[in-house]
């Protein structure tokens, strides 16, 4: 299965990593990154595990941090559209395609 990341994901991730590095140092930043990677790996193993938030979009939450990925999947690919904080507006990033 092909994996695609929207170009905005890089900016989303960088923003979160910068915040955690400033607030808690390199170890917290590393923990966040590792958990984000594990969440992506979990989605790739079983995308149907995650619930729909819109007609064709699913949400995969990080377990220890207040962030989640929004992604879409079909038989050929999984496309990650946004990494957003849980308190961001629910429509943030949904215009990305």
- CATH at residue 14: 3.30.2310.20
- pTM, 2 dp: 0.91
What pLDDT shows up at residue 59?
97
Query: Does the residue 93 lie in any domain?
Result: no
What pLDDT shows up at residue 55?
86
The residue segments making up the domain with residue 80 are 2-85
What pLDDT shows up at residue 94?
79
Query: Does the residue 28 lie in any domain?
Result: yes
Q: Please report which residue ranges of 25-97 form alpha helices under DSSP H.
A: 26-45
E strands, 1-97, are 2-5, 52-54, 57-61, 67-73, 77-85
Query: Does the residue 96 lie in any domain?
Result: no
What pLDDT shows up at residue 4?
96
Query: Does the residue 91 lie in any domain?
Result: no
Q: CB under 8 Å, gap of 24 or more: what pairs does 17-20 form?
A: 20/65
Query: Does the residue 50 lie in any domain?
Result: yes
Query: Does the residue 74 lie in any domain?
Result: yes
Q: Which helix (H) or strand (E) covers residue 58, if one does?
A: strand 57-61
What pLDDT shows up at residue 89?
86
Query: Does the residue 18 lie in any domain?
Result: yes
What's the number of domains the chain is made of?
1
Kindly report the backbone phi and psi dihedral angles of residue 4, in degrees, each rounded to the nearest multiple of 5, phi listed first: -125, 135
List the chain pLDDT tens, one digit each, 97 residues: 899 999 999 999 999 999 999 999 999 999 999 999 999 999 999 999 999 998 899 999 999 999 999 999 998 999 999 999 999 888 888 778 7
What tokens were used for 85?
A: 């904080």
């Amino acid at each position: 299965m092909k994996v695609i990341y929207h170009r905005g994901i890089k900016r989303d991730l960088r923003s979160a990593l910068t915040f955690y590095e400033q607030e808690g140092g390199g170890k917290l930043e590393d923990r966040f990154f590792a958990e984000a990677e594990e969440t992506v790996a979990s989605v790739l193993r079983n995308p149907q595990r995650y619930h729909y938030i819109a007609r064709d979009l699913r949400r995969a939450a990080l377990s220890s941090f207040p962030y989640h990925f929004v992604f879409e999947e079909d038989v050929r690919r999984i496309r990650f559209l946004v990494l957003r904080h849980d308190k961001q507006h629910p429509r943030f990033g949904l215009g990305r395609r």
